[in-house]
Structure 1
Amino acid sequence: MRAWQAPVLPSVPGTGPRPVVHDTAAGKPVDPTRGEERAALYVCGITPYDATHLGHAATYLAFDTLVRAWRDAGLDVDYAQNTTDVDDPLLERAARDGVDWRELAASQIDLFRRDMEALRILPPDDYVAVTDEVDRVAEAVAFLQETGYAYDVPTDGSDGDDVYFDVNRPTEAWALGDESRLDRETMLALSAERGGDPERPGKRDPLDPLLWRAARDGEPSWDTELGPGRPGWHIECSVIAGDKLGLPISVQGGGSDLVFPHHEMSAGHAAALAHQPLANAYVHTGMIAYQGEKISKSLGNLVTVRGLLDDGADPRAIRLALLSHKYSDDWEWFPAELESATTRLASWDAWSEGAPSHADDAADVIARIRARVADDLDTPGAVAAVDTALAGGTAATPELVDVIDALLGIRLG
């Protein structure tokens, strides 16, 4: 599946430091490439049933920044992202609105592409629709059955059985809880809240996640070696990441609401399939609130990228507003966020076109921007470095303007 048009990434002199990022599993900043010259990134994509909201935008902007920092450090980067274009929320929304689920998915994926282009987010090298990988997922599930990591659960209303993953059969590369560091009570609550089915009869453990859903009347299904059905959620990402990038990848990324069960279970599936860890680091973005609640499709308190653009916002200002917060922090969006970013952007534009005072200082500013971005993607620190340069009369040299574009994605002038 095609991704979206890539923005031009300017070439800048020299190289920046190799970035470190906070690993949720380790609880500290790490170099996820472990000194290698190749970085591999997998970021969980959207379930395309509604418009791109600011929580989505902030997540993909964070990993866009990581890719930019890796490239600035001279690393080769391979980046894959999926789109979950068949899943219960999508099917439920399509049924509610009386539209074909495939048409709904296609329209929302196209909207997502346009929003990513507007925000100048670098596209993945591999943008993968789950519906294009069903046979590969079925092969992986069959392998897990053969090797004893998966088991069948009889299903009412279907000729086939559902297939579940046994979380209590650890591998040398994974055991339940290693990635999330959560207690069992919390894991049970989060499983129920985030797409799991801990009350399902017939499971060996309430936390066992679904690998394969046997066909039901009125639901899409595919004929595979497992019989008709469709993939579970977590196994999709395990298979796509392994196939496209090889294991272990440098970073498995997504919002903090994916720590458990999605990334935990994806790591377990990958370890059972390949006897390798899924990732060297698990990196998570914070949640953005609006009107006192986390921005959520289910709650309907959405601030969408498209809505802001349609109201006349400069996409650079939206990007700058998001960059002004640390990627891993939880914070709340207020209209003043965009107003402040618009004012800042106007001053940066004027600075880039004005007469310089201290051209010799530009190299120091470039070094500060690079250092801040490499230090766990400290984009607020990088933004502050530009503000300080502007206030101090530092020249907006072509090299400095290009570094702001290359690392922060803000093209001035």
Structure 2
Amino acid sequence: MGTCWSSLPPSNHPTPSPTGTVTPAGTCNSQTTSGSYGTSTTSTTRTTTFNSSTTTSSGSGSGSGSSNNMSSSINSHHDYSIGGQILPTSNLRVYTFAELKASTKNFKPETLLGEGGFGKVYRGWLDGITIAVKKLNSEGYQGLQEWQSEIHFLGRLYHPNLVKLLGYCYEDTELLLVYEYMQKGSLENHLFGRGAVVQPLPWELRLKIAIGAASGLSFLHTSDREIIYRDFKASNILLDGSYNAKISDFGLAKLGPSASQSHLSTTVMGTPGYAAPEYMQTGHLYVKSDVYGFGVVLVEILTGLRAIDLNRPSGYHNLTDWIKPHLQERRKLKKIMDPQLGDKYPIKAALTISKLASKCLAPEPKMRPPMKDVMEILKGTQASTDKTVEVRGQNE
């Protein structure tokens, strides 16, 4: 089992215990794997447990700052200037299994949107709207843990850049989650997908998506009790019909350290290529471990290269191992920019963002900028680009 986090005010919804019996929500949360969905193809990105280190709270101070201290709970009525809030209780609909089975035409293969560690995600139609239905893999214990975590976190978090959880179903052994449908699928699919249905993302949309994702992550980090997302990656950034980015899959999310703590010590879980080095090496989880993952995604947006690609030559499999020297200079950056962009991007703005990505990828957490600053830099870059577009020239 994972670390209990009763410092979250309990919701009104029951959740199943590992034995299958119903226990009050908000009592305990074990962390495990997560997955997301794309447009019409199955995602192959999986979250991996790297080791089996013990899950405990750890800090720089004495043991007085427990993560279970009710005085350090999230303020459930706090409104944020960036447009989000944490609701006092989750207002989720409880669906019947029969409803969701009918909405997906008995989970017909043609309605499959994608697959992850939790199970499969299907497109459904219910009450006149399109929904996304995530169905637990009954053979995997990990799904139950993600199901609980999604309800405890996403059920009460509201922000325009977080995917909206509409409700859930728990009947016998059936565990399902119901989300708003994201028409454009995942950022991963748009950056790396192939086929006639996948169109290259123009520069303006890439910047818009980066700003939206940064806004969602900044919201999590600036709550009264910081929330560490822990699995930031391109496949967990979903896009609505207007390419507004929304962060999905909170199966690995954790409450951040208390005031007396510098970090959490926890089982190392995440996705290879995105997880911060200090977390991989020690199990020490910081709020700024998320910033590292954001930096990786920024580089993917710029280059069109995957964080991990075993088809690249030896020494180039892990993107961050070799990309950093290319992020500081204009001429080096031009050589690694996504060829699908052609000449249609502002080189000055691209260089600003590549330098920002480099800061996010700093080896030490304290050297990385907070997500609020990252978001503001991206917004400023967008504003300056709108005024003066400096397109890459042939003679540079």
Larger radius of gyration, structure 1 or 2? Answer: 1
Higher relative contact order (CA 8 A, sep 6+): 1
With the length of structure 2 as denominator, give the TM-score of the two structures: 0.26
Higher helix fraction: Structure 1 or Structure 2?
A: 1
